[in-house]
Amino acid sequence: MHRLWSHTLQRLSPYTPGEQAQNSDVIKLNTNEHALPPSSGAVSAGQQLDVERLRRYPDPTSRLLTKAIAKANNVSSDQVLVTNGSDEVLAFAWTAFLSDTDKVPAVPAMTYTFYPVWAKLLGQGLHQVTMNSDLSIDVEALKAWDGPVVFPNPNAPTGLSLPLETIEGLVAHNPNRLVLIDEAYFGFGAVSAAPLISQYDNLLITRSFSKSHALAGLRVGYALAHASLLEGLRRVKDSFNSYPVDAYAQCVATAAVSDSAWFAKASATVEENRAALAAGLTQLGFSVLPSQANFVLASHPEHTGIVLTEYLKTQNILVRSWSSDDLLPWVRITVGTKDQQACLLSALADYLND
Protein backbone atom coordinates (compact mmCIF):
# COMPACT_ATOMS: atom_id res chain seq x y z
CA MET A 1 0.00 0.00 0.00
CA HIS A 2 1.38 3.43 -0.94
CA ARG A 3 0.87 6.49 1.29
CA LEU A 4 -0.76 8.33 -1.64
CA TRP A 5 -3.58 5.78 -2.07
CA SER A 6 -7.08 7.20 -1.53
CA HIS A 7 -9.35 5.84 1.23
CA THR A 8 -11.54 4.22 -1.45
CA LEU A 9 -8.52 2.50 -2.97
CA GLN A 10 -7.35 1.24 0.42
CA ARG A 11 -10.77 -0.38 0.99
CA LEU A 12 -10.91 -2.12 -2.40
CA SER A 13 -10.55 -5.87 -2.94
CA PRO A 14 -10.15 -6.07 -6.72
CA TYR A 15 -11.67 -8.85 -8.82
CA THR A 16 -9.34 -11.74 -9.63
CA PRO A 17 -9.80 -12.93 -13.21
CA GLY A 18 -9.59 -16.66 -13.96
CA GLU A 19 -6.19 -18.07 -14.90
CA GLN A 20 -5.23 -17.53 -18.56
CA ALA A 21 -2.97 -20.41 -19.62
CA GLN A 22 0.24 -19.53 -21.49
CA ASN A 23 0.65 -23.10 -22.67
CA SER A 24 -1.44 -24.05 -25.74
CA ASP A 25 -1.79 -27.76 -24.88
CA VAL A 26 -3.77 -26.98 -21.73
CA ILE A 27 -7.47 -27.91 -21.81
CA LYS A 28 -8.94 -24.65 -20.64
CA LEU A 29 -12.37 -25.06 -19.06
CA ASN A 30 -12.07 -22.40 -16.35
CA THR A 31 -13.27 -19.04 -17.76
CA ASN A 32 -16.35 -19.91 -19.82
CA GLU A 33 -14.98 -19.09 -23.24
CA HIS A 34 -16.95 -20.61 -26.13
CA ALA A 35 -16.07 -24.18 -27.13
CA LEU A 36 -15.94 -23.31 -30.85
CA PRO A 37 -13.98 -20.75 -32.90
CA PRO A 38 -15.89 -17.55 -33.83
CA SER A 39 -17.80 -17.04 -37.10
CA SER A 40 -15.38 -17.31 -40.06
CA GLY A 41 -17.20 -14.35 -41.67
CA ALA A 42 -16.33 -12.26 -38.60
CA VAL A 43 -12.69 -13.34 -38.70
CA SER A 44 -12.31 -12.46 -42.38
CA ALA A 45 -14.08 -9.10 -41.89
CA GLY A 46 -11.37 -8.28 -39.35
CA GLN A 47 -8.59 -9.42 -41.70
CA GLN A 48 -9.92 -7.13 -44.43
CA LEU A 49 -10.23 -4.02 -42.25
CA ASP A 50 -9.11 -0.92 -44.16
CA VAL A 51 -5.85 0.35 -42.61
CA GLU A 52 -7.27 3.88 -42.81
CA ARG A 53 -9.69 2.87 -40.07
CA LEU A 54 -6.73 2.25 -37.77
CA ARG A 55 -5.17 5.65 -38.49
CA ARG A 56 -8.38 7.42 -37.50
CA TYR A 57 -10.28 7.40 -34.23
CA PRO A 58 -13.08 4.85 -34.27
CA ASP A 59 -16.73 5.84 -34.62
CA PRO A 60 -17.56 6.99 -31.04
CA THR A 61 -21.13 5.73 -31.37
CA SER A 62 -20.25 2.33 -32.93
CA ARG A 63 -23.08 3.13 -35.37
CA LEU A 64 -22.87 0.10 -37.66
CA LEU A 65 -22.41 -2.34 -34.79
CA THR A 66 -25.27 -0.72 -32.87
CA LYS A 67 -27.49 -1.07 -35.94
CA ALA A 68 -26.55 -4.73 -36.40
CA ILE A 69 -27.22 -5.52 -32.70
CA ALA A 70 -30.56 -3.68 -32.90
CA LYS A 71 -31.55 -5.70 -35.97
CA ALA A 72 -30.54 -9.03 -34.41
CA ASN A 73 -32.58 -8.24 -31.29
CA ASN A 74 -35.57 -6.62 -32.96
CA VAL A 75 -35.13 -3.31 -31.11
CA SER A 76 -34.25 0.20 -32.31
CA SER A 77 -30.70 1.62 -32.37
CA ASP A 78 -31.46 4.11 -29.58
CA GLN A 79 -32.14 1.11 -27.32
CA VAL A 80 -28.55 -0.21 -27.72
CA LEU A 81 -25.26 1.01 -26.20
CA VAL A 82 -22.00 -0.73 -27.15
CA THR A 83 -19.04 -0.95 -24.74
CA ASN A 84 -15.70 -2.70 -24.10
CA GLY A 85 -17.04 -5.98 -22.80
CA SER A 86 -20.10 -6.19 -20.59
CA ASP A 87 -17.92 -5.52 -17.53
CA GLU A 88 -17.60 -1.94 -18.76
CA VAL A 89 -21.32 -1.39 -19.26
CA LEU A 90 -21.99 -2.93 -15.83
CA ALA A 91 -19.52 -0.49 -14.27
CA PHE A 92 -21.23 2.38 -16.15
CA ALA A 93 -24.58 1.17 -14.78
CA TRP A 94 -23.19 1.25 -11.24
CA THR A 95 -22.19 4.88 -11.66
CA ALA A 96 -25.38 5.87 -13.48
CA PHE A 97 -28.06 4.10 -11.44
CA LEU A 98 -26.65 2.29 -8.39
CA SER A 99 -24.37 4.77 -6.66
CA ASP A 100 -26.70 6.81 -4.39
CA THR A 101 -27.23 5.92 -0.72
CA ASP A 102 -30.95 5.39 -1.40
CA LYS A 103 -30.12 3.12 -4.36
CA VAL A 104 -28.19 0.28 -2.72
CA PRO A 105 -28.76 -2.70 -5.02
CA ALA A 106 -29.79 -6.20 -3.95
CA VAL A 107 -27.96 -9.12 -5.56
CA PRO A 108 -28.17 -12.89 -4.97
CA ALA A 109 -25.62 -14.05 -2.37
CA MET A 110 -24.17 -16.51 -4.89
CA THR A 111 -23.47 -14.60 -8.07
CA TYR A 112 -20.89 -12.84 -10.26
CA THR A 113 -18.10 -11.81 -7.90
CA PHE A 114 -17.44 -8.53 -9.73
CA TYR A 115 -20.65 -6.97 -8.31
CA PRO A 116 -19.22 -6.47 -4.78
CA VAL A 117 -16.09 -4.93 -6.32
CA TRP A 118 -18.08 -2.29 -8.24
CA ALA A 119 -20.25 -1.72 -5.17
CA LYS A 120 -17.09 -0.78 -3.21
CA LEU A 121 -15.45 1.25 -5.96
CA LEU A 122 -18.49 3.05 -7.37
CA GLY A 123 -21.46 2.43 -5.06
CA GLN A 124 -22.64 2.83 -1.49
CA GLY A 125 -23.09 -0.81 -0.51
CA LEU A 126 -24.74 -4.04 -1.53
CA HIS A 127 -27.64 -6.05 -0.11
CA GLN A 128 -27.01 -9.78 -0.52
CA VAL A 129 -30.08 -12.03 -0.72
CA THR A 130 -29.70 -15.61 0.57
CA MET A 131 -30.16 -18.31 -2.06
CA ASN A 132 -33.04 -20.79 -1.97
CA SER A 133 -31.99 -24.26 -0.78
CA ASP A 134 -31.77 -25.49 -4.40
CA LEU A 135 -29.41 -22.54 -5.13
CA SER A 136 -32.01 -20.75 -7.24
CA ILE A 137 -32.52 -17.00 -6.77
CA ASP A 138 -35.05 -15.99 -4.09
CA VAL A 139 -37.24 -13.83 -6.32
CA GLU A 140 -39.69 -12.98 -3.53
CA ALA A 141 -36.84 -11.53 -1.45
CA LEU A 142 -35.71 -9.45 -4.43
CA LYS A 143 -39.30 -8.27 -4.90
CA ALA A 144 -39.49 -7.24 -1.27
CA TRP A 145 -36.30 -5.14 -1.54
CA ASP A 146 -37.10 -1.46 -1.95
CA GLY A 147 -34.06 -0.55 -4.05
CA PRO A 148 -32.64 -1.70 -7.39
CA VAL A 149 -31.88 -5.35 -8.09
CA VAL A 150 -29.06 -6.87 -10.14
CA PHE A 151 -28.63 -10.51 -11.15
CA PRO A 152 -27.42 -12.59 -14.06
CA ASN A 153 -29.88 -14.72 -16.00
CA PRO A 154 -28.77 -17.47 -16.16
CA ASN A 155 -27.03 -16.89 -12.84
CA ALA A 156 -23.30 -17.45 -12.49
CA PRO A 157 -21.86 -19.71 -11.22
CA THR A 158 -25.00 -21.83 -10.82
CA GLY A 159 -26.16 -21.71 -14.47
CA LEU A 160 -29.79 -21.71 -13.23
CA SER A 161 -32.19 -19.41 -15.06
CA LEU A 162 -35.51 -17.72 -14.36
CA PRO A 163 -38.47 -17.85 -16.76
CA LEU A 164 -39.67 -14.70 -18.53
CA GLU A 165 -42.95 -14.47 -16.53
CA THR A 166 -40.98 -14.37 -13.27
CA ILE A 167 -38.69 -11.65 -14.59
CA GLU A 168 -41.62 -9.63 -15.90
CA GLY A 169 -43.34 -9.97 -12.50
CA LEU A 170 -40.22 -8.56 -10.80
CA VAL A 171 -39.84 -5.69 -13.27
CA ALA A 172 -43.55 -4.77 -13.14
CA HIS A 173 -43.70 -5.06 -9.32
CA ASN A 174 -42.01 -1.68 -8.76
CA PRO A 175 -41.59 0.59 -11.81
CA ASN A 176 -39.60 3.05 -9.67
CA ARG A 177 -36.59 0.84 -9.19
CA LEU A 178 -34.08 -0.51 -11.69
CA VAL A 179 -33.95 -4.20 -12.56
CA LEU A 180 -30.59 -4.96 -14.16
CA ILE A 181 -30.40 -8.37 -15.81
CA ASP A 182 -26.90 -9.46 -16.74
CA GLU A 183 -27.36 -11.72 -19.77
CA ALA A 184 -23.65 -12.50 -20.20
CA TYR A 185 -24.65 -16.14 -20.82
CA PHE A 186 -27.33 -15.32 -23.38
CA GLY A 187 -27.75 -17.82 -26.21
CA PHE A 188 -27.35 -21.14 -24.41
CA GLY A 189 -30.98 -21.90 -23.56
CA ALA A 190 -32.22 -19.22 -21.14
CA VAL A 191 -35.03 -16.93 -22.30
CA SER A 192 -33.98 -13.30 -22.75
CA ALA A 193 -35.89 -10.38 -21.23
CA ALA A 194 -35.05 -8.21 -24.29
CA PRO A 195 -38.66 -8.22 -25.60
CA LEU A 196 -39.68 -6.33 -22.42
CA ILE A 197 -37.47 -3.24 -22.81
CA SER A 198 -39.93 -1.17 -24.85
CA GLN A 199 -42.68 -1.78 -22.31
CA TYR A 200 -40.68 -1.26 -19.07
CA ASP A 201 -38.36 1.73 -18.74
CA ASN A 202 -36.91 0.39 -15.45
CA LEU A 203 -35.35 -2.68 -17.13
CA LEU A 204 -31.69 -2.75 -18.18
CA ILE A 205 -30.14 -5.76 -19.90
CA THR A 206 -26.40 -6.25 -20.40
CA ARG A 207 -24.91 -8.70 -22.88
CA SER A 208 -21.48 -9.87 -23.97
CA PHE A 209 -19.87 -11.08 -27.20
CA SER A 210 -17.38 -13.01 -25.04
CA LYS A 211 -19.51 -16.12 -24.55
CA SER A 212 -22.38 -16.14 -27.07
CA HIS A 213 -20.18 -15.16 -30.04
CA ALA A 214 -16.85 -16.78 -29.05
CA LEU A 215 -15.12 -13.38 -28.99
CA ALA A 216 -13.77 -13.04 -25.44
CA GLY A 217 -10.49 -11.66 -26.81
CA LEU A 218 -12.29 -8.82 -28.61
CA ARG A 219 -13.87 -7.21 -25.51
CA VAL A 220 -17.30 -6.16 -26.78
CA GLY A 221 -20.46 -5.93 -24.71
CA TYR A 222 -23.65 -3.89 -24.87
CA ALA A 223 -26.74 -2.76 -23.03
CA LEU A 224 -30.35 -2.98 -24.16
CA ALA A 225 -32.89 -0.68 -22.51
CA HIS A 226 -35.57 1.93 -23.06
CA ALA A 227 -33.93 4.87 -24.90
CA SER A 228 -34.39 7.32 -22.01
CA LEU A 229 -32.80 4.94 -19.47
CA LEU A 230 -29.95 4.18 -21.85
CA GLU A 231 -29.27 7.89 -22.26
CA GLY A 232 -28.05 7.81 -18.63
CA LEU A 233 -25.42 5.21 -19.54
CA ARG A 234 -24.39 7.22 -22.60
CA ARG A 235 -23.77 10.24 -20.37
CA VAL A 236 -21.46 8.14 -18.17
CA LYS A 237 -19.67 6.66 -21.19
CA ASP A 238 -19.04 10.13 -22.64
CA SER A 239 -17.79 11.36 -19.27
CA PHE A 240 -15.34 8.47 -19.04
CA ASN A 241 -14.06 7.54 -22.51
CA SER A 242 -15.87 8.63 -25.64
CA TYR A 243 -14.07 6.09 -27.88
CA PRO A 244 -14.36 2.89 -25.87
CA VAL A 245 -14.75 0.34 -28.67
CA ASP A 246 -11.88 0.21 -31.17
CA ALA A 247 -12.30 0.07 -34.97
CA TYR A 248 -11.22 -3.57 -35.26
CA ALA A 249 -13.63 -4.71 -32.54
CA GLN A 250 -16.52 -2.78 -34.12
CA CYS A 251 -15.82 -4.38 -37.51
CA VAL A 252 -15.48 -7.98 -36.26
CA ALA A 253 -18.45 -7.78 -33.87
CA THR A 254 -20.69 -6.30 -36.60
CA ALA A 255 -19.96 -9.28 -38.86
CA ALA A 256 -20.35 -11.71 -35.93
CA VAL A 257 -23.77 -10.49 -34.81
CA SER A 258 -24.98 -10.52 -38.42
CA ASP A 259 -24.03 -14.21 -38.83
CA SER A 260 -27.21 -15.72 -37.41
CA ALA A 261 -26.48 -19.14 -38.95
CA TRP A 262 -23.19 -19.42 -36.98
CA PHE A 263 -24.96 -18.34 -33.79
CA ALA A 264 -27.75 -20.92 -34.11
CA LYS A 265 -25.35 -23.76 -34.90
CA ALA A 266 -22.74 -22.85 -32.28
CA SER A 267 -25.36 -22.43 -29.53
CA ALA A 268 -26.91 -25.81 -30.40
CA THR A 269 -23.45 -27.45 -30.23
CA VAL A 270 -22.82 -25.97 -26.77
CA GLU A 271 -26.21 -27.17 -25.53
CA GLU A 272 -25.56 -30.67 -26.91
CA ASN A 273 -22.05 -30.84 -25.38
CA ARG A 274 -23.38 -29.49 -22.06
CA ALA A 275 -25.89 -32.35 -21.88
CA ALA A 276 -23.10 -34.87 -22.59
CA LEU A 277 -20.84 -33.28 -19.95
CA ALA A 278 -23.60 -33.31 -17.32
CA ALA A 279 -24.42 -36.95 -18.11
CA GLY A 280 -20.74 -37.97 -17.88
CA LEU A 281 -20.28 -36.20 -14.55
CA THR A 282 -23.49 -37.70 -13.14
CA GLN A 283 -22.23 -41.16 -14.08
CA LEU A 284 -19.08 -40.45 -12.04
CA GLY A 285 -21.19 -39.66 -8.95
CA PHE A 286 -21.38 -35.85 -9.26
CA SER A 287 -24.51 -33.77 -8.62
CA VAL A 288 -24.87 -31.36 -11.52
CA LEU A 289 -27.13 -28.29 -11.50
CA PRO A 290 -29.36 -27.96 -14.60
CA SER A 291 -27.43 -25.22 -16.40
CA GLN A 292 -28.63 -22.89 -19.15
CA ALA A 293 -25.15 -21.41 -19.58
CA ASN A 294 -21.96 -22.63 -21.28
CA PHE A 295 -20.72 -24.15 -18.02
CA VAL A 296 -21.95 -26.58 -15.39
CA LEU A 297 -21.63 -26.40 -11.60
CA ALA A 298 -21.02 -29.84 -10.13
CA SER A 299 -20.21 -31.28 -6.71
CA HIS A 300 -18.87 -34.66 -5.64
CA PRO A 301 -19.83 -36.18 -2.26
CA GLU A 302 -16.20 -37.00 -1.36
CA HIS A 303 -14.04 -34.20 -2.78
CA THR A 304 -14.12 -30.41 -2.58
CA GLY A 305 -13.97 -28.33 -5.74
CA ILE A 306 -10.48 -27.12 -4.83
CA VAL A 307 -9.08 -30.65 -4.48
CA LEU A 308 -10.51 -31.64 -7.86
CA THR A 309 -9.23 -28.43 -9.48
CA GLU A 310 -5.72 -29.02 -8.16
CA TYR A 311 -5.70 -32.62 -9.35
CA LEU A 312 -7.00 -31.67 -12.82
CA LYS A 313 -4.31 -29.01 -13.10
CA THR A 314 -1.68 -31.73 -12.78
CA GLN A 315 -3.37 -33.32 -15.81
CA ASN A 316 -3.18 -30.02 -17.78
CA ILE A 317 -6.91 -29.35 -17.39
CA LEU A 318 -8.08 -26.03 -15.91
CA VAL A 319 -11.47 -25.71 -14.16
CA ARG A 320 -12.71 -23.23 -11.53
CA SER A 321 -13.40 -23.60 -7.81
CA TRP A 322 -13.64 -21.31 -4.76
CA SER A 323 -12.58 -21.26 -1.12
CA SER A 324 -15.73 -19.54 0.26
CA ASP A 325 -17.95 -21.78 2.43
CA ASP A 326 -20.99 -21.65 0.14
CA LEU A 327 -19.01 -22.67 -2.95
CA LEU A 328 -16.49 -25.03 -1.35
CA PRO A 329 -18.14 -28.27 -2.56
CA TRP A 330 -18.52 -27.02 -6.11
CA VAL A 331 -16.44 -27.07 -9.24
CA ARG A 332 -17.42 -25.04 -12.32
CA ILE A 333 -16.55 -26.58 -15.65
CA THR A 334 -16.87 -24.73 -18.96
CA VAL A 335 -18.56 -26.68 -21.75
CA GLY A 336 -15.79 -27.73 -24.13
CA THR A 337 -15.47 -29.70 -27.33
CA LYS A 338 -16.45 -33.38 -27.19
CA ASP A 339 -12.72 -34.32 -27.20
CA GLN A 340 -11.86 -31.93 -24.35
CA GLN A 341 -14.75 -33.26 -22.30
CA ALA A 342 -13.71 -36.87 -22.95
CA CYS A 343 -10.20 -36.05 -21.57
CA LEU A 344 -11.72 -34.33 -18.53
CA LEU A 345 -14.10 -37.21 -17.76
CA SER A 346 -11.37 -39.81 -18.21
CA ALA A 347 -9.00 -37.88 -15.90
CA LEU A 348 -11.74 -37.60 -13.27
CA ALA A 349 -12.58 -41.30 -13.59
CA ASP A 350 -8.89 -42.20 -13.02
CA TYR A 351 -8.80 -40.00 -9.91
CA LEU A 352 -12.08 -41.22 -8.43
CA ASN A 353 -11.38 -44.91 -9.10
CA ASP A 354 -7.86 -44.77 -7.65
Ligand X SMILES: Cc1ncc(COP(=O)(O)O)c(C=O)c1O
The residue ranges that bind ligand X (CB under 6 A) are 32, 85-87, 112, 152, 156, 182, 184, 208, 210, 216, 221
Query: Which sign does the torsion angle of CA 200, 201, 203, 205 carry?
Result: positive
* Least gap, CB of 93 to ligand X (angstroms): 11
- For 159, 160, 181, 241, 253, the CA distances from 170, given in Å and listed in that order, are 20, 17, 11, 33, 32
Beta carbons within 8 Å of 201's beta carbon, 6+ residues apart: 175, 225, 226, 228, 229
* Least gap, CB of 3 to ligand X (angstroms): 33
- Of 135 and 184, which has the nearer Cβ to ligand X? 184
45-82: burial string, b at 16+ Cβ within 10 Å, e else: bbeeeeeeeeeeebbebbeebbbbbbebbebeeebbbb
* Least gap, CB of 90 to ligand X (angstroms): 6
Bridge partners (DSSP) listed for residue 281:
none
- Of 69 and 216, which has the nearer Cβ to ligand X? 216
- Of 150 and 317, which has the nearer Cβ to ligand X? 150
* Least gap, CB of 300 to ligand X (angstroms): 23
Neighbours of 3 (CB within 10 A): 4
Evaluate whether 153 touches 193 at the Cβ level (below 8 Å).
Answer: yes
* Residue of 201, 304, 213 whose CA lies nearest to 257: 213
- Of 182 and 246, which has the nearer Cβ to ligand X? 182
* Least gap, CB of 10 to ligand X (angstroms): 26
- Of 219 and 303, which has the nearer Cβ to ligand X? 219
